[in-house]
Amino acid sequence: MKDIQRIIDYKFNNIKNLDEALTHSSYVNENKTIPMIHNERLEYLGDAVLELVVSAYIFHQFPSMSEGDMTRLRAGVVCEPSLAICARKIGLGGFLKMGKGEVLNGGRERDSVLADAFEAVIGAIYLDGGYEAAQRFILSYLENDIHSLKGLKWLADCKTHLQEQLQKDSQDLIEYRVIGEEGPEHEKTFTVELTHGGRFLGQGTGRNKKEAEQAAARFAIEENQLYG
């Protein structure tokens, strides 16, 4: 607990908030005799706080930006791959209390688990220290992303943008294929492989097939610099 508080530069007044944020549902399911609360409620709260903080920041920083562009920018910042990267910067996967089965299935490195845990930590900080504490934490990880992604309208629909870029020079088939499914039924993670004319372009994961396809398309755009 001391280590993660040092890393995130926030000291909890009530350490139970942090403990709950770091408790995955799989751990609770495997230890039903011990009274514990998993982090899904805090994830719900953190998601709402995250949306508000990023929305308010974009609104004030870019006064001439249209509603549509603000929405697209927020979507590019507040997404599973972006939040998973933030979680990895903290080393969050190593701090999570998880069930043995989830660990064996690679849960500590799964984007969906890490993104959810990051949101749960936001929720815990908000409960413990209020809006300003949560705002400081969020912007310390996402402020640079907001500015670097400003103007990248393709983030709203990576699949459509990728298709437009590829079809400028080729009519070869663009194919998204599910190559993996992990996790319990209520918390599945899909992995999709993207090919163009049979050539591998990227891979992505998500909580559903559509999200995984968008992640794969974003990877392909960034990896191949298909910005348009």
Shared domain check, 213 and 122? no
Cα 66 → chain centroid: 25
The two structure tokens encoding residue 66 = 């249209």
Provide φ and ψ at 174, rounded to 5°: -100, 120
DSSP state letter for 183? S
**Are residue 64 and residue 162 in the same domain, yes or no?**
no
- Do 176 and 139 reside in the same domain of the chain? no
Whether 138 and 171 share a structural domain: no
pLDDT of residue 194: 96
Check residue 151 and give its pLDDT: 60
| Of the listed ranges 37-51, 101-115, 134-148, the one predicted with least confidence | 101-115
**More confident site: 119 or 145:** 119
Write the CB contacts of 2 (distance below 8 Å, at least 6 apart in sequence).
Answer: none
Q: Does 128 lie in the same domain as 18?
A: yes
Q: Is the predicted pLDDT of residue 23 greater than 90, yes or no?
A: yes
Whether residues 96 and 51 share a domain: the answer is: yes
Is residue 113 located within the same domain as residue 10? Answer: yes
Q: How many CA atoms lie within 13 A of 106 on its CB side?
A: 10
State whether 174 and 135 are in the same domain. Answer: no
Sign for the pseudo-dihedral over CA of 164, 197, 213, 138:
negative
Q: Which of 20, 43, 47, 213 is catalytic?
A: 47
**Active-site residue 109, yes or no?**
no
Question: Could you give the number of structural domains in the chain?
Answer: 2
Quote the percentage of the chain above a pLDDT of 90.
58
pLDDT of residue 228: 65
Q: How confident is the model at residue 1 (pLDDT cuts 50, 70, 90)?
A: confident
Domain holding 183, by residue range, is 158-224
Q: In this predicted model, what pLDDT tens digit does every residue of 66-79 receive, in sequence order?
A: 887 888 788 888 98
CATH code of residue 111: 1.10.1520.10
107 and 210 assigned to the same domain: no
CATH of the domain at 217: 3.30.160.20
Q: For residues 227 and 186, give the distance between their C-alpha atoms in angstroms, rounded to a whole number.
A: 35
Domain end, chosen from 151, 186, 212, is at 151
- 20, 43, 116, 119: the catalytic one is 119
Within this chain, do residues 16 and 124 fall inside the same structural domain, yes or no?
yes
Q: For residue range 141-156, what is the model confidence (pLDDT) as tens digits? A: 999 888 877 666 666 6
Q: Specify the pLDDT at position 152.
A: 66
> Based on the domain organization, do 185 and 102 belong to the same domain?
no
Query: What would the mean pLDDT of 29-52 be, rounded to a whole number?
Result: 91
Per-residue pLDDT reduced to its tens digit, 177-210:
999 988 777 778 899 999 999 999 999 888 889 8
Last residue of a domain, one of 126, 151, 176: 151
- Together in a domain, 129 and 219: no
Using CA atoms, how far apart are residues 95 and 19, in angstroms rounded to an integer?
Answer: 10
Would the pLDDT of 102 be above 90? no
Residues in CB range of 206: below 8 A, 6 or more apart: 80, 111, 112, 189, 190, 192, 212, 213, 214, 215
Catalytic annotation present for 181: no
